[in-house]
Structure 1
Amino acid sequence: MGVNGGRRRGLLAIAFFMGLAAALVQVLLIREILSLCRGNELVIGVIFSSWFLGIFMGARFNPTAADADLQRRVLFSTALLPVLMAVSVYGAHAVQIIFPRTVGTFYSISVELLLALFLTLPASFFVGFFFPPLVALVSGEMKERSGGTVFYVESMGSFAGGIAFSFVLVEIANPCAIACGLLCASFVIIGALVNKKLIPLALVPLSLIFFSGSIEDQIFTRVWNRTHAGKLVHYQRTKYQTVAVESYGDTVSVYGDGILMYTLPDRFEARGLFHLINALRRDRGTMILMGSGPGSLLHNLISAGIGHIRYFEPDPELWDAVYPFRARLYPGVEGERLSVYREDLRHFLSRSRERFDMIVSIPPAPENIMLNRFYTREFYSLCKRHLSEQGIFVTSLHGYSNYLSEDLRDFIASIYRSFAAEFPEHLKTSGETMYLIGSAAKGALPRDVDELINRYKAGLPLRAGRLEKEITQNYSPDELRMFFELTQIRYFDRSMASAVKKVDGNRDLKPGAYWKSIVLTAFREQSLLYALIRGFLFLPALILVVSVIVFGDVRRRYGPRYMAAGTVIYCTGLVSISAVLVMILLYQNSHGIVYYRISLINALFMLGLTVGSLTANRTRIRLPLILAGLALSLGLVLVQTVLNIDVLFWALIILFSFLCGAVFPALFAAAGSESYMASASVLDSMDHFGSIAGSLLTVMVFLPVFGIQGTLIVDILIVLLAGAVGFLKFESS
């Protein structure tokens, strides 16, 4: 099965193109599906597992054939991948028309996970489908180096795709333009390899790039207006999230990744909290405000005479998108008393030495890790350190109306335990939205609601002429009693007394509230996921059974040597994706957003894979040494969870991926030369099958049970197991 030099370069160009395209497709699918599924990181795990399932199926169900048939598979995959990317990306939005949902609601979590599976699988299938035939086509000349060569060329393409997206495409191109660009490139590559007459076809997708903005605007506007009560007036992909602004009557609603962030104007919603904050503050002072939206609360606090407010909006582009609507509804009263900070509050506090008279944090529910960061003990401790001597901290929490179910109780207990650990002196309100009010100093808070009301009466009247009438009309300080319904608070205290003893506090490295929020949502939806969570051992048992069947099939078809090689690469695939998910969460915890950094993390991972596979392909590094280094690098990631050094974070991604990349060519050479396509098929499919298991186990078992640090320890043990199998089968013989 020989191949001349020019043809070999053409085939390797396809490997590079498919790696580049795969990197772009993956990150775009993550971005678009997250906007459909409330930004939940659990969906990222499912997307990864679906991605690897598609690659596994494409590599696994790929029978040996003549060269002509193998080439057709490769060329078909090259041309079809950009088309499937566009179908999946825009299908994530069109699905709302095909399967309507109630306005303002989400699909159930189970449905979201199934949508992630079906939207990801078609494109990823062809990422796996092209690989074994391409290895077979170049193996005539490259022999045992063929698998490693194609692997590192594809990895280099993925690195290029990740870098291109992170630093160029994320700023200038939408998915439609990227799909057209990839299709244009595929026609050029196929034409150069097969028939140059096909190259002019590239002009068709090239011309569509110039109309991609209008095409996308039409798609999004039509989908939104058919599935929502209002009309879409602004849509924007920022580096942080997908922002949609909807107009309905006299109101404007702002969504981030499908989650309603706030509505403008929100006078009635702001009334109660406005007066609670004013009752708590003792003087004009300085205040931090985060999460309330730039609406009536902010506007009226400025008008009420707060000395200076620092308003935090972590997405800079969101403030710019919303400002024209805000300026129309709340014409300029801010002056010098408002400073808008377009950065993450935690990041600001971690490097600031200032102290504030009041910090008010009103984040949305912790439906993802980004939001969970504002409900952890570490965040509460950070806020406490930045309070003035008599400073007060106020935060919100999803509460209850009459009954605390077990799942709701555990969710609240996880957050309440963390809050109370930092603020032993605190007040709490009752209701569907609870407010937790803490102070670092004794005596800063009123003893009870009567003292709070009397203090507020002494400070009245407010400068009502400058406030919105809905805030002050017929107001009496006795309204504050509605926040402190004694029967509910006593019931809450009794419930928490026992719950906080058995429920872990919510932490950065063990985000219990985030997981309990998922469980609570699944319970309310009575979805299949809830049964799966409650039957906790079902998923690990299912993965074990399927893995045994797959390993048995490999042994039956290819023999024990291939099964041993498959076991090692399966463990490596499992650990690699598990570690990548952990690194994503570490970055999320540290920087507040990982939305546009997933592609960079993926790019550096692919760079490490490229260099690792190239090095192992040329120097024949011993397999046990590679796996020992892999375990050591995971140990360093464990250290990073404590040190939190940015430079070390990025260096560890490259080191870890370098060692992961070295495993494939080492095993490819060790598997023998009986059939290069069989070696490529087994190793590629088992690598991705391990990644499927790792994606699911990490998000559904390891992280909820063991936390981030415990997950890394489990990963180290799995690598050591793989090292033992590799040594006994390949080194001892």
Structure 2
Amino acid sequence: MPEKTNFSKRSLLFIFFLYGFTLTVLQIVYLRFFISIFYGNELTIGLFWFSWMLWTALGSYFFGRVRKVLEYLPSHHFLFGLVIPFTLLLMLFIRSRFLPVGSALPDFSTTIFTALVSLFLFGLLSGGLFPLYARLLNINTAQEIDTAGGQVYLWETAGSLVGGLLSGLVLIHFFHSTQIVIKVAILQFLLSFYFLSRTEKSRKSLIISIYFLIGFFALSSFLSSYQQRFKQLWRGMDIVEERSSPYSELVLTRLDHSFTLYQDGVPLFTIPDPQTAEETVHYALLLHDKPQTVLLIGGGFSGALFEILKHPSIRALHYVELDPEVIGIYKEFFPDNWRRLITDKRVAIHQTDGRNFLQHTRESFDLIITALPDPYTVQLNRFYSREFFALCKSRLQSGGILAFQVSASENYLNDAQKRYLKAIEQSFVPLFKNWGFLPGEKMQFFLIKDVHPPVVNSDSLIKRLRERRLETLFVQDYYIPFKLMPDRIRLFREAFEETQFPFYNSDYRPLAYYFDTILWAGKTSRILSGFLTRMFSVSFDGFLLIVFLPIFLGLGLSFFLRKRPLHSLAAVSGMFSIGFSVISLELLILLAFQVAHGYLYQQVAIFIALFMGGMAIGSYFSIRYSSTIYKSLQKLAIFVLAGVSLLSFLIGALLPFIGAMSHSQATFYFLAIVSGFCGGFSFPLFNRLYLSHKKDTSKSGIIYAWDLVGSLAGSILCSIILIPIYGLKLTGVFLGILNLIIGLFMAAVYWGKSDCGAGGE
């Protein structure tokens, strides 16, 4: 007997809106938390998305088989509410159980294990809601299941848009992650009670009371367990402050008399740390005969700012710090140091992105010093690229010096380190013919503009150290000769000269980030490190062959053998290709946007909101007009794939030129809307195409699952392989070919008059 429901359509659409809102808020909370307790590079983020989308896709597939939707939904929402805080607690438990913060880098196996286990239940339950909602709307309004699925997708996307904006710009500023997950869990409990009140079950009051008690005790135990596990994660250290910023999760710890600020689990600076502060700036300053104007990007609050001010010739010191909460913590917990800085008329502190500051400042400098982490993310890679070095050169006065440092080793470089350092060297050599370096665990590079090579020898440095009467603990006349031992300098110089590596690091082909990932993987997983190393040696033509030959053969055999209906395979393949391409295009456009305008959180939030807005608009137009635009859905799907293919070719080729335009911001925003529109328009179309021959409503989650699988594959392959190794242009070529192949297959199915038919008219 079919189920009967008495929901108003508006109430259901609002619930679908809350579904998208909830998932996006939790995506942001979980991802930020996951990054904060693990090494937050793109590989770690990729593992998170892999687990999220894998379990969500499986949930969408399996829960589509539920028959009595209305009877089941109250239990599903209640269980989902219990799982939401449990997921956060499970991440924390696994990380603290195996490896406390500060002991060592999290290894690859622990990272992937944590992602897979902690997101398992959450992904299944969240993904399962989509087909359940589609079935509920189908029953309640008598809409076809394909149309109902499109409606759920549209309102989920609208909720995601609002959830992304609200959480990114408001929630994370005013609420702790535990507070957010508890509020979202309570929302699920309320939805459970709402659905339960609409069922015909007896003793509903008793069931609601039991649910309420279980939920209350579960949330109470979550709070106490979280506090215990969080302290265990940081065992050996006292937690002074825990704070969320737009850019990261910050934790200030105390060990004896020293304070360390951690940014996403990575130490940002320690106070006091005179060795780091002195070595970061003094060698560069001593190379210049009379430094007067200095720009320091990052690392200033370790004490480096005060070390710079010790040089008597300094007239102006500009310091750039991206994160406002880092400044806020320093101001609050080190007030004496802060007061010394702001009362010194030579010091100016700028809260902005370093690249953005250099692009817009009219100042020129005797020295530019970057004290940033290694390029372990694509965002940080922008400070080690040829484009960045060219920008710095344009802001240096004649004879000015650019100084930066990257991790290396005291006395020996392995092959991975050689390629890593060589990629960076190849990036600045055409711009700075005169350069020197200082070996060490942190290798320092000194690039000088226009005049003779920097005299990096112990005698000249000691002479200037004494002339300036600098009071230092570690940069001393007896220590400098050891740092500059001729044998060590010769060893590293020969390593640079012998390494044959013709490639350079750029904004649009972030090789330094890629080789830093290999170095990280080498510390935790030889298999992963070896795989990434071998992948770099694969030409683009070879990569196309590896990926597309199996796809081409598989689709070709399916077409000629025809052992199963081809319309289903065509629709699934098309949705996979669109999901893969849209997430990849978003990554490409966002990378180019950050290169052109810096990593400014509010602008990035607007960019992502416009992308989600484009998806909502596309979904709306697809639901409302797809049948009238073209009578045959198959032909329309082919044109969509052709359009995405063309868009991919164009975006990959034109993004670097767009970034160089004077008013490129509006163009990037437009591209975000267009790429989002393609994804939003495609889902209802391919969902309708797939379900037009299906009488079984249990298949309502299949296309949604394949959309997620495509996004999963695209996010990992694009961020870890395609963009770093082959660059933006060839990534666009790859996406264009992928959609072209799938479009040709769909055309062959349609014009071959296979069993696909002309359904969906």
User: Structure 2 length as normaliser, TM-score?
Assistant: 0.85
1:283 is matched with which residue?
290
Aligned CA distance change for structure 1 residues 207 and 108 (closer, same or farther; 3 Å): closer
Closer, same or farther: CA 652–11 of 1 in aligned 2, 3 Å: same
Counterpart in the other structure of 1:57: 58
The 1:731–1:569 alpha-carbon spacing in structure 2 relative to 1, beyond 3 Å, is: farther
**Which of 396, 412, 419 is the equivalent residue of 2:405?**
396
Q: Give the structure 1 partner of residue 632 of structure 2.
A: none
Query: What CA distance in whole angstroms lies between the structure 1 residues aligned with 2:752 and 2:165?
Result: 41
Match in the other structure for 1:637 = 651
Q: Say whether the 8 Å CA contact 1:446–1:452 is kept in structure 2.
A: no
Distance 1:614 1:699, change over 3 A: same
- CA gap of 1:529–1:714, structure 2 versus 1, over 3 A, is same
Do the aligned partners of residues 150 and 292 (structure 1) sit closer, same or farther apart at CA in structure 2, a change above 3 Å counting? closer
User: 2:306 maps to what in 1?
Assistant: 299
Decide whether aligned partners of structure 1 residues 616 and 169 sit closer, same or farther in structure 2, where only a CA change above 3 A counts: same
Matched, 1:717 2:718: no
Q: Secondary structure in 2 aligned to 1:367?
A: coil
Matches within 5 A, 1:452-471: 452-453=460-461, 456=464, 460-462=467-469, 467=471, 470=473
Query: Aligned residue for 2:32?
Result: 31
Greater mean deviation of Cα atoms: 481-490 or 596-605: 596-605
Identify the residue that residue 360 of structure 1 maps to in structure 2. Answer: 369
1:192 is aligned to: 194
2:695 to 671, 675, 679: 675
Per-residue CA deviations over 1:469-506 (Å, capped at 9, x if unaligned) read: 6368xx42x6433332222222222222242x424111
Q: Are the aligned partners of 1:631 and 1:716 in contact in 2 as well (CA < 8 Å)?
A: yes
Distance in 2 of aligned mates of 1:151 and 1:577? 16
Find the counterpart in structure 2 of residue 313 from structure 1: 321
Contact 1:605 1:653 in 2 (8 A): yes
**What aligned pairs does 1:566-645 form with structure 2 within 5 A after superposition?**
566-593=572-599, 602-620=608-626, 621=629, 622-638=636-652, 639-644=654-659, 645=664
For residues 202 and 633 of structure 1, what CA distance do their matches in structure 2 show? 50
Secondary structure of 1:606's aligned partner? helix
2:104 aligns with: 105
| Count of aligned pairs between the two proteins | 719
1:21 aligns with 2:40: no
Q: 1:419 aligns with which of 428, 444, 468?
A: 428
Kindly provide the CA deviation profile for residues 501-544 of structure 1, in whole angstroms up to 9, marking residues without a partner as x. Answer: 42411111111011101111222334442243356489997999
- Tell whether 2:47 aligns with 1:46: yes
* Residue identity in the other structure for 1:356: F
The structure 2 residue matched to 1:688, chosen from 708, 730, 737, is 708
Match of 1:433 in 2: 442
Distance in 2 (CA, whole Å) between partners of 1:569 and 1:21 is 24
| Preserved CA contact (<8 Å) 1:133 1:677 | no
Distance 1:527 1:384, change over 3 A: same
Contact 1:166–1:600 under 8 Å retained in 2:
no
Alpha-carbon distance change, 90 to 322 in structure 1, aligned in 2, over 3 angstroms: farther
Answer yes or no: is the 8 Å Cα contact 2:74–2:193 preserved in 1: no
Q: Residues 275, 43 of structure 1: CA spacing in aligned structure 2 closer, same or farther, 3 A cutoff?
A: closer
What amino acid maps onto 2:131 in structure 1?
A: P
For the Cα contact (< 8 Å) 1:369–1:589, is it kept in 2? Answer: no
CA separation in 1, counterparts of 2:91 and 2:330? Answer: 25
| Partner deviation per Cα, 1:200-244 (whole Å, 9 max, x = no partner) | 9999899999x99x9879945762455343211011010011111
Unaligned runs of 5+ in 1: none
How far did residue 106 of structure 1 move?
Answer: 1.8
Q: How many angstroms apart in 2 are the aligned matches of 1:407 and 1:575? A: 31
Q: How far apart, in 2, do the equivalents of 1:125 and 1:602 lie? A: 25
Shift of residue 668, structure 1, vs aligned partner: 2.8
Q: Which structure 2 residues correspond to residues 66-105 of structure 1 after superposition, within 5 A? A: 66=67, 68=68, 70-101=69-100, 103-105=102-104
SS in 2 for 1:686: helix
Q: CA deviation at 1:147?
A: 2.1
Q: Tell me the CA shift for residue 167 of structure 1.
A: 2.9
Contact 2:96 2:229 in 1 (8 A): no
**Contact preservation (8 Å) 1:391, 1:439:** yes
Q: CA deviation at 1:169?
A: 1.6
CA offsets 1:297-349 (integer angstroms, 9 cap, x no match) = 32132133221211111111111102344334687265111111111111001
Query: Please, which of 249, 259, 268 is the counterpart of residue 275 of structure 2?
Result: 268
1:462-481 to 2 correspondence within 5 Å? 462=469, 467=471, 470=473, 475-476=476-477, 479-481=479-481
Matched, 1:704 2:703: no
Match of 1:227 in 2: 234
Does structure 2 conserve the Cα–Cα contact (< 8 Å) formed by 1:290 and 1:361?
Answer: yes
Residue 648 of structure 1 is matched in structure 2 by 667
* Residue 49 of structure 1: how far off its partner (Å): 2.1
TM score, norm. by length of structure 1: 0.88
**Residue 689 of structure 1: how far off its partner (Å):** 2.1
Change in Cα spacing, 1:215 to 1:667, as seen in structure 2 (3 Å) is: closer
Task: State how far apart, in whole Å, the 1-side matches of 2:548 and 2:9 are.
Answer: 39
Match of 1:256 in 2: 263
Cα displacement (A) at 1:373: 1.7
Tell me, what secondary structure is at the counterpart of 1:374? coil
Are 1:343 and 2:346 counterparts? Answer: no
How many Å apart are 1:180 and its aligned residue? 2.8
1:485 maps to what in 2? 485
Q: CA deviation at 1:601?
A: 5.0
- Describe the shift of the 1:424–1:629 C-alpha distance in structure 2 as closer, same or farther (beyond 3 A): same
Query: Match of 1:633, as an amino acid?
Result: L
Q: Deviations over 1:395-426 (max 9, x none)?
A: 11222222221111111111111122221111
CA contact (8 A) 1:166 1:597 kept: no
Amino acid at match of 2:481: R
The 1-side partners of 2:267 and 2:133 are apart by 47
Q: Where in structure 1 do 4 or more consecutive aligned residues deviate above 6 Å? A: 198-209, 214-218, 537-558, 594-599
User: 1:594/1:18 Cα in 2 relative to 1: closer, same or farther (>3 Å)?
Assistant: farther
Asked whether the equivalents of residues 610 and 661 of structure 1 are also in contact (C-alpha less than 8 Å), the reply is yes
Question: For the Cα contact (< 8 Å) 2:78–2:211, is it kept in 1?
Answer: no
- CA pair 370-670 structure 1, distance change in 2 beyond 3 A: closer
Does residue 661 of structure 1 match 2:680?
yes
Find the counterpart in structure 1 of residue 389 from structure 2: 380
CA contact (8 A) 2:101 2:265 kept: no
Deviations 1:162-198 (A, max 9, x none): 1221332232223323223223333333433431758
Identity %: 23
Higher mean C-alpha displacement, 708-717 vs 174-183: 174-183
Q: Provide the secondary structure at the position in 1 that maps to 2:345.
A: helix
Residues 370 and 351 of structure 1: CA distance in aligned 2, closer, same or farther (over 3 Å): same
Are the counterparts in 2 of residues 294 and 326 from structure 1 also a CA contact under 8 Å? no
Q: For residues 59 and 447 of structure 2, what CA distance do their matches in structure 1 show?
A: 56
